[in-house]
A = this chain, B = another copy of it.
Amino acid sequence: MATQTSLTTIVRSTEIDVNAHVNNAKYLEYLEWGREHWYEQLGLDYTTLKQMDIVTVVAHISIDYRKEAVQNDELTVLTRLKRIGNTSFTMLQTIENQRGELVVEADVVMVTVSPTTHENVPVPGAIRQHL
């Protein structure tokens, strides 16, 4: 089973919009925080990947908004690998609130690129093993 990481965050006053709920764009920040956490928990932080001549770049996001979130909600971002291709991989991320309700659900496709050659490169075994 794919390794899943969990990150909790509280919705703050400057994270809600004029409609008093979290804006659709803000959730993509929460999802990025969850992916950063996943990389760090798995020992695959930015510096480590860079030493392998790899950076990961977001190529596609598909996100469903299920339920609104409001100030002081406690949101949990769950992140795990869903699929691995040759030079890309897909993460499945969900955000739940403090009542366990699904707030958003997203597929995020990342591509692995060499910062030296700017070419796509195979997803490294260090990532692949977490599927």
Q: Is A36 part of the contact surface with B, judged by Cβ < 8 Å?
A: yes
Interface SS, A side: mixed
Q: Is A23 part of the contact surface with B, judged by Cβ < 8 Å?
A: yes
Q: In the complex this chain forms, how many copies of it are found?
A: 4
Contact with B along A1-16 (1 / 0, CB 8 A): 0000000010011101
Q: Is A17 part of the contact surface with B, judged by Cβ < 8 Å?
A: yes
Contact with B along A21-55 (1 / 0, CB 8 A): 00111101100110010001000000000000000
Q: Is A60 part of the contact surface with B, judged by Cβ < 8 Å?
A: yes
Chain B neighbourhood of A25, CB < 8 A: 14, 25-26, 28-29, 32
Chain B neighbourhood of A59, CB < 8 A: 64-65
Q: Name A14's contact: one of B17, B57, B62 (CB within 8 Å).
A: B17
Q: Is A131 part of the contact surface with B, judged by Cβ < 8 Å?
A: no
Q: Are the CB atoms of B58 and A33 closer together than 8 Å?
A: no
Contact with B along A67-83 (1 / 0, CB 8 A): 00001100000000000
Q: Are the CB atoms of A24 and B64 closer together than 8 Å?
A: no
Chain B neighbourhood of A126, CB < 8 A: none
**Nearest 9 CB-CB pairs, A to B?**
A25-B28, A14-B29, A24-B58, A62-B62, A25-B29, A12-B33, A13-B36, A18-B20, A60-B64
